[in-house]
Amino acid sequence: MIKVKVVCVGKVKEKYFSQAIDEYSKRLSRFCSFEIIEVAESNLPLKPSPAQIQQCVEQEGQRLVEKCSGYVIACDLHHEQWSSEEFSKKLQQIKLTNSTVTFLIGGSYGLSSQAKQKANAYFCFGNVTLPHTLARVVLCEQIYRAFMLETNSCYHK
């Protein structure tokens, strides 16, 4: 059974997001060992300078990289989008040669160059802007959908 890790910055504060993540985590338990690892969010002043933002992104990126293992997929706005079917096929291919896949979700200001360099592949949620906690919910759903597609379930219509 493959291990799927979602390594992300910060804690989910919204109860409804936590409930959705918990539901998908429960559903995923029949397909994989699923784990969400939260790393500390860096503190910034109310109106940070570009240098402060860059330092924050680098600090968070270091924390993310320390938790990576196996095949790493970085969720990043500046890369290609995958359909749900493509996502499922990619996950199936990864399972053939890797026992662990790690997804990276950066904080509010994105992923550091170090985190991006650690990645074997990149995934974009689309051209919309999502809060990083909502991106976590969407990613969990897509991982679940990928396994359901693999098993030819009627979940994906």
Q: Would you state the structure tokens that stand for residue 143, as one six-digit string?
A: 């991982």
Output the DSSP codes for 48-114: --HHHHHHHHHHHHHHHHHT--SEEEEE-TTS-B--HHHHHHHHHHHHHH-SEEEEEE-BTTB--HH
Q: Please, is 17 exposed, middle or buried when counting C-beta atoms within 10 Å of its C-beta (0-12, 13-18, 19+)?
A: middle
pLDDT for position 157: 64
Domains, the chain, with CATH or none: 3-43+50-150 (3.40.1280.10)
Residue range 90-120, pLDDT digits in tens? 999 999 999 999 999 999 899 999 999 999 9
For the full predicted model, state whether its pTM sits above 0.85. yes
pLDDT band at 155 (very low <50, low <70, confident <90, very high): confident
Q: Would you state the structure tokens that stand for residue 103, as one six-digit string?
A: 């997804």
